[in-house]
Chain A
């Protein structure tokens, strides 16, 4: 069965510092991988996705992620964090079911940004 592990429940960074959020997945086939962000009181918004091709993918809001098949990882990065990036971040792996890909989500990482 597919699964996603986000080992860090909380991460605290200073504004302007770099950020890396970790994500490891378990899935037997070629994965579809996603990062979503959830601001307080909001639904989830897609930051970026990996389906195939270049293993370094660019997303919205200056985020990028790198797919490493050998490590089963899809870590999210940002070179300089802004206070508005404070939110909950979810990694997901899409598994095939009934002709669709159903995202299975990790437990999330809460990002706290200090001024």
Chain B
């Protein structure tokens, strides 16, 4: 158990819909990262937050957004969903601003039909 909690574990929705994925980092970790894992693209970095502020941005689509709240949990919002958005979405956390040593949650599997 990494200490990172992600909900929901599985989500099935239709094209055009919007979903929110939630992540609670390990106790004491200020930094949260979001990754997308798919067969086509592998593990792709989406975005990172540190203590409520966006710190780094990767290959995140404009239809996707994220935020980190004062209690340090984070949410990833995916809107206008397309079939290609079906993937496993991982949240990870790290101490301070991070050295790249990440603790991953078990992921949220999104299926868009």
Residues of A at the B interface (CB closer than 8 Å) are 32, 34, 36, 41-46, 49, 51, 90, 92, 94, 97-108
Q: Which of B99, B105, B106 contacts A101 (CB 8 A)?
A: B99
- Mark B34-73 against chain A: 1 for CB-CB distance below 8 A, else 0: 0100000011010010100001101000000000000000
Q: Knowing A42-B106, A43-B106, A105-B43 touch, does A98 contact B101 (C-beta < 8 A)?
A: no
Chain B residues close to A by CB (< 8 Å): 2, 4, 31, 33, 35, 42-43, 45, 48, 50, 55-56, 58, 90, 92, 94, 97-107
Task: Label chain A's interface by main secondary structure.
Answer: strand
Interface of chain B, helix or strand or loop or mixed? strand
B75 to chain A, nearest CB (A): 18
How far, in angstroms, from A49 to B94 measured CA to CA in the complex?
14
Task: Take A102-B33, A102-B56 as given contacts and tell me if A49 and B43 are in contact as well, using a CB distance cutoff of 8 Å.
Answer: no
Q: List 22 A-B contacts (CB under 8 A).
A: A32-B99, A43-B92, A43-B105, A43-B106, A43-B107, A44-B90, A44-B104, A45-B2, A45-B104, A46-B102, A46-B103, A49-B99, A97-B55, A97-B56, A98-B48, A98-B50, A99-B55, A100-B48, A100-B97, A101-B99, A102-B48, A102-B100
